[in-house]
Structure 1
Amino acid sequence: MIDSTIGAASFIIACSHQKSYDCLSRKNDFETAINFASSPEYILLNTSIIILDQAALNQFSLLNWKKACSTAIFIIEHPVDDDECILVPTGILEVFLRSALIKALNHLNIKQQLELSHRDLQHDHEQISRLLDVGQALSAERDHDVLLARILKESRLLACCDAASIFLIDRHAANESHPAPDLVFKLTQNDSIDFHFQEQRFGLDNRSVAGYSALTGEIINLDDVYDLPASSIYQFNASFDQSMNYRTCSMLVIPMRNHQGQVIGVIQFINRKRSISISLSTPDIALRETIGFDQKIIPILQALASQAAVAIENNVLIDRVNLLFDGFVKASVRAIEQRDPTTSGHSFRVAELTCALAETANKCDVGKFQNMHFNNDEMRELRFAALLHDFGKVGVREHILTKAKKLSPEAYGQFIYRIAWEKERISNYYLKQKFLLLKKQQLRSDVEEILTIEEMTKLQRLNDYMQAVAEANEPSLLSEGTFEHLKQIREYIVEDIHGNSRGLIDELEFGALSIKRGSLTTDERLEIESHVSHTIEFLKTIPWTPELSNIPKIAGAHHEKLNGCGYPNGLKNNEIPFGAKIMAVCDIFDALTAKDRPYKAAVPLERALTILQSEVECGHVEPELVTLFTQAKIYQILDIS
């Protein structure tokens, strides 16, 4: 009798050798099936040993026999050029035949064990390769929700389990009244049932399986959650099973540790299955098809949990950095707008409109928008560019930036003072004239009346001058005849307290008051326009990440025009970034409709849309963007009636 390991195996022996067949059939203690096969066609595919006599080899070559069953071991009577065959000469005693068979069976047993080991190694290699692929995929994922879903999906595939859940520890939730962190039930997946899931928060304690694992850092491996040890601190919450007619059987909870060894959450694996394709649609099926989590799979899932922890930590860190950067950008915009309170909120409104128009363009699949798509990074880049498009105003002198009238408050105040001084001089002059005539007793009533009329005429003239300057000082369109009136005012000579002669307004004041529209002189307008160049230069100094590297280019092109008449670089249509074209439409619209500009009233909605259309006709802005802006009513995100 051969050893029990060999005897227990299921082997098939095929004989073309009658003597061997008779011998084995008469006394078969090998626990094998014995078949007689006179030709290869009678060989079963899973035959283990084939005993061939020379007649069989003469009729059919060894190659033909091997084709019938390539995995079998061959016992032959005469030597052949094949090291794998076992030689048993003709007329050999039965004991030697049995010895050859034992040798063949031992060889087969070793071969099977090697094959099993190879399959195990191949499976381990596949698991490790998959783990590496998963790690790369997780480290590359930046969307936090997608990352969590990917972690659960890959975890379930590796563990071959029906369901899995992920819990994260929120230590920021702790405060004086609630010192313990929260355990946040972030996501769950289940192959067998569909249900609505909503994120939940619990105080972190050791009463639940997940909470216990998160607090202690221990791996919890349960074959049946309904059969917990009496001494266990934690309990299984069966409410989900009861409400969904589900049966949770095996459960494995693995803590996720970051690079510092700190537990940041846990992954809960539920119901390991015999096959991933099985649906545990009823409790009976779950009880029948669910198996426990063996010790072999735990290290693999631990490695995955570690990768998941690092990926989650990185994502959280990136989100916090982004949040911090977002806060810095907003704070910078508010600081810049404090220098120009008249445009407060403009940058935020332009960013809101720009992002809304870009998102609408994303959904449009006609015309220029057909191949135009902003991904998440590009949307973020566009938003920052819109927020920072007027950042360069920090390089513009404040009195020009905030200039609401053509004359500065100081210059206008000095003009009013000169008017008052001249009025006082005129009144004093006529008072002296009347006093001298009175002294000479020559102040008749008719003479006094003439002097009074002259005085009032000159004073009224000064009042008219003051009114004309006040009207010309407004940034509205200069009326006809005002220019000539201003020349008269300039030529009216007055003396200051030092006796120096000068006009009521000087050349600079005359030039400022002569501006036909707006409040800025040519030089002042050039300085205001320079804010775009300052924006480009300032933003270039920031070490933007690759996905935000176009911010200076986009923000610096919002005053460019399609026909090349814009500034600062006179770019034409195809040279202007598409994001800047979107921003240009929104910037013009907000400048027209803003209620906080002291130098102009807000333009009504319909009038603003008409002006936008005129900008299209002048070749300044993208026609399809204006059409989309108007038809989609993008402006409705702002409170504009």
Structure 2
Amino acid sequence: MFEFFPKTGILMHMPAVRDAGALLKVIERLHSLKDVDIILENILHEARTFVRADAGTLYQLRDNQLYFAFIENDTLFHRGERENNKYLYTTRSIPANTKSIAGFVAETGQSLLIDDVYSIPGDVSFEFNPEFDRKSNYRTRSILAVPLKDTEGKILGVIQLINALDKTGNPVPFSQQDRLFISYFAQHAAMALEKAEFAKEMILRLVEISQLRDPHESRLHAQRVGEYSAALFDAFGARMGTPLVQRNRGKEALRLAALLHDIGKVGLDSELLSKGDEFSEDDKETMVWHTIYGARLFSRRSSVWDRVAFEVTLSHHERWDGNGYPGHVENIFSDTLKPGPGKTGKEIPLSGRIVAIADVFDALVSPRTYKDPWDEESAFLYIKTKAGKQFDPELVDVFLSIKDTIVSILQNTR
């Protein structure tokens, strides 16, 4: 059995469900988040939790393609692997047309409730693709697919939940109550996502302003540095035994702050920035100031994000061995500032040590007017050789342990 559910307006009243209080708490938490990826991950995970779905995929709609933003499967992936597995699918996409289940939902704005995907009748436009089941030895049965719509009705993506489970863990169909519940949840989730997308776009506009001064500072470079930094922070936190909630909170702030690691370059002369790596000694002394200018923008440190952005902008050029800059600075607002000796080791904030690795790696694998891009393995080897010198050796070890994640991020944002 399967059912279509037509486009509807906003559900003014929450459906009567036994977990209404829990739903409201999750919605409130979603609206408090600022990072797009953290929101997307929470949307999928919480939707699955509420209706006891074994698996699910969250698609984002871009350029008439549905991209795999997140994928979870409790049967196939151990919970500890969830963070890494999500990136391995981000380079994949499917057309947003009526030939697939998720494509049908994105194209029509209708939700779908399917009891058994292997029994879909032949008189409908969409069909189930069994390729994943064959490759993974998984058995998809029931599916609930719901659109994510912004406040103007534009489709942002699709939540696709797979295999509702009964109390004994056996797959069963999703219920009508499940559909109403997830549809209501999806409306609020889309609002939170829309708000976060707007905030991220404003940050990226600042990056574009920086690009007017420095042609090497692009949106894609900034986004990759943010993604690498978040992945490294999370993997390092997992190794240290940091609780997931705390890791997510820190990862959210660091990803956004890392986007603006070089925003201080707006205060430098564009002629200087266009020189690439051919700097005189005077030029090098001037370049130090971009860390100071960037830190000044976030000097109020009135929020967690401000504090992390202050650390990142000021310290991402520090070196583990103390040969970085700007070093110990007493007053970042002094016009006669003379940067002190470089900070060493763990004097450098963790956020700065992480972004230092992410920034250099992406600079190596990116084309520049003064060099060709390095291949990934050569860049990883360079990072490894600088452990204990330029970079925190423990962070380098973690970075090299998540190579697949880093490469997936790179491939998805080129």
Measured against the shorter chain, the TM-score band is 0.5 to 0.7
User: Aligned in 2, Cα 1:391/1:273: closer, same or farther, shift over 3 Å?
Assistant: same
SS of the residue 1:189 aligns to: strand
Task: Report the secondary structure of 2:116's partner residue.
Answer: coil
2:158 counterpart (266, 271, 295) = 266
What residue in structure 1 maps to residue 246 of structure 2? none
Q: Which runs of 5+ in 1 are unaligned?
A: 1-122, 172-180, 281-285, 338-347, 366-373, 395-403, 405-517, 520-527, 587-626, 635-641
Deviation at 1:182, TM superposition (A): 1.0
Question: Of the candidates 144, 161, 172, which is equivalent to residue 53 of structure 2?
Answer: 161
1:448-467 → structure 2 map (5 Å cutoff): none
Aligned mates of 1:165, 1:385 — CA distance in 2 = 32
Deviation of 1:315 (Å): 3.2
Distance verdict in 2 for CA 1:182–1:550, change over 3 Å: closer
Structure 1: distance between partners of 2:150 and 2:330: 56
Deviation at 1:309, TM superposition (A): 1.9
Asked whether the 8 Å contact 1:223–1:249 carries over to 2, the reply is yes
Is the alpha carbon distance of 1:567 and 1:201 closer, same or farther for their aligned partners in structure 2, counting shifts above 3 Å?
same
Distance apart, 1:170 and its partner CA: 0.8
Q: What amino acid is aligned across from residue 212 of structure 1 in structure 2?
A: F
Shift of 1:245: 3.5
Aligned twin of 1:299: 180
* Structure 2 CA distance for partners of 1:389 and 1:326, relative to 1, 3 Å: closer
Query: For 1:13-162, what aligned pairs fall within 5 Å after superposition?
Result: 124=16, 126-162=18-54
| Map of 1:182 onto structure 2 | 65
Match of 1:599 in 2: none
Alpha-carbon distance in 2 for matches of 1:252, 1:138: 21
Task: State yes or no: 1:391 paired with 2:276.
Answer: no
Alpha-carbon distance, 1:561 to partner: 5.7
- Asked if the contact 2:294–2:314 (Cα under 8 Å) also holds between the matched residues in 1, the reply is no
Distance in 1 of aligned mates of 2:330 and 2:147:
62
Give the match's secondary structure for 1:293: coil
- Provide the residue aligned with 1:207 in structure 2: 99
Give the letter aligned to residue 73 of structure 2.
N
The equivalent of 2:189 in structure 1 is 308
Tell me which residue corresponds to 1:320.
Answer: 201
Closer, same or farther: CA 162–328 of 1 in aligned 2, 3 Å:
same
1:303: how far off? 1.0
Instruction: Give the match for residue 76 of structure 2.
Output: 193
1:568 maps to which of 336, 358, 361: 336
Aligned counterparts, 1:250-289, within 5 A: 250-275=142-167, 278=169, 280=170, 286=171
Structure 2 contact 66–96 (Cα < 8 Å) conserved: yes
1:301 Cα deviation (Å)?
Answer: 0.9
Q: Is the 8 A contact 1:561 1:570 kept in 2?
A: no
Q: 1:183–1:545: structure 2 CA closer, same or farther, 3 Å change rule?
A: farther
Give the Cα–Cα distance (whole angstroms) in 1 for the partners of residues 166 and 42 of structure 2.
22
Q: Is the alpha carbon distance of 1:543 and 1:232 closer, same or farther for their aligned partners in structure 2, counting shifts above 3 Å?
A: farther
Deviation at 1:302, TM superposition (A): 0.5
So what's the TM-score if we normalise by structure 2? 0.54
Once the two structures are superposed, residues 222-261 of structure 1 have per-residue CA deviations (whole angstroms, 9 ceiling, x without a partner) of: 2222222342221122233333333322222111111111
* Matched residue SS, 1:296: helix
Which structure carries more relative contact order (alpha carbon 8 Å, separation 6+)?
Answer: 2
- Decide whether the 8 Å contact of 1:253 with 1:267 is kept in 2: yes
Displacement after TM superposition at 1:628 (Å): 5.3
Instruction: Give the partner amino acid of 1:388.
Output: G
User: For the residues of structure 1 that align with 2:62 and 2:52, how far apart are their CA atoms?
Assistant: 29
2:59–2:67 contact (8 Å) kept in structure 1: yes
Deviation digits for residues 43-74 of structure 1 (CA, Å, limit 9, x no counterpart): xxxxxxxxxxxxxxxxxxxxxxxxxxxxxxxx
Distance 1:378 1:163 in 2: 28
SS at match of 1:259: coil
* Bigger Cα Rg: 1
Q: Which residue of 2 aligns with 1:243?
A: 135
Alignment CA distance shift 1:227-1:333 (3 Å) = closer
Match of 1:548 among 299, 306, 310: 306
| Cα distance in 2, alignment partners of residues 128 and 314 from structure 1 | 24
One-letter code of the match for 1:226? Y
* 1:271 match: secondary structure: strand
Q: Give yes or no for contact 2:56–2:162 (8 Å, CA) kept in 1.
A: yes
CA contact (8 A) 2:96 2:102 kept: no
Question: Higher mean Cα deviation, 257-266 or 547-556?
Answer: 547-556
Inter-CA distance 193–631: structure 2 relative to 1 (3 Å threshold): closer
Instruction: Work out which of the residue numbers 117, 126, 135 in structure 2 matches 1:234.
Output: 126
Contact 1:560 1:569 in 2 (8 A): no
Structure 2: gaps spanning 5 or more residues: 1-14, 79-84, 241-248, 271-279, 316-324, 342-346, 357-387, 396-414
Separation in structure 2 between the aligned mates of residue 261 and residue 183 of structure 1, nearest angstrom:
17
Say which SS state the counterpart of residue 315 (structure 1) adopts. helix
CA displacement at 1:568 relative to structure 2? 3.0
1:192-234 Cα shifts (integer Å, max 9, x gaps): 2349652321222111111111111112112222222342221
Report the counterpart of residue 223 of structure 1 in structure 2.
Answer: 115
The total of aligned residue pairs comes to 300
Distance 1:532 1:552, change over 3 A: farther
CA RMSD of aligned residues (A): 5.6
| C-alpha distance in 2 between matches for 1:303 and 1:163 | 20
**Structure 2 Cα separation of the partners of residues 563 and 218 of structure 1:** 59
Mapped to 2, the partners of 1:538 and 1:194 lie a distance apart of 41
2:61 is aligned with what amino acid? Answer: I
Q: 1:569 to 1:163 in 2, by over 3 A?
A: closer
- Map 1:533-612 → 2, pairs under 5 A: 546=303, 547-548=305-306, 568=336
Q: 1:29: which partner in 2?
A: none
208, 212, 221: which one aligns with 1:331: 212
Q: Secondary structure at the match of 2:113?
A: strand
Residue range with higher mean Cα deviation, 384-393 or 323-332: 384-393
Q: Distance in 2 between matches of 1:189 and 1:537?
A: 38
Contact 2:326–2:339 (CA under 8 A) maintained in structure 1: no
Q: Aligned equivalents of 2:193 and 2:294: distance in 1?
A: 36
The answer to whether the 8 A contact 1:206-1:215 is kept is yes
Q: Does the 8 Å CA contact 2:117/2:140 hold for their aligned counterparts?
A: yes
Offset of 1:563 from its aligned partner?
A: 9.7
Q: Output the CA distance in 2 between the equivalents of 1:128 and 1:390.
A: 49
Matches within 5 A, 1:500-539: none
What CA distance in whole angstroms lies between the structure 1 residues aligned with 2:208 and 2:188?
A: 30
- Aligned CA distance change for structure 1 residues 268 and 386 (closer, same or farther; 3 Å): closer
Q: Partner amino acid for 1:568?
A: T
Deviation at 1:384, TM superposition (A): 4.5
Distance 1:223 1:245 in 2: 20
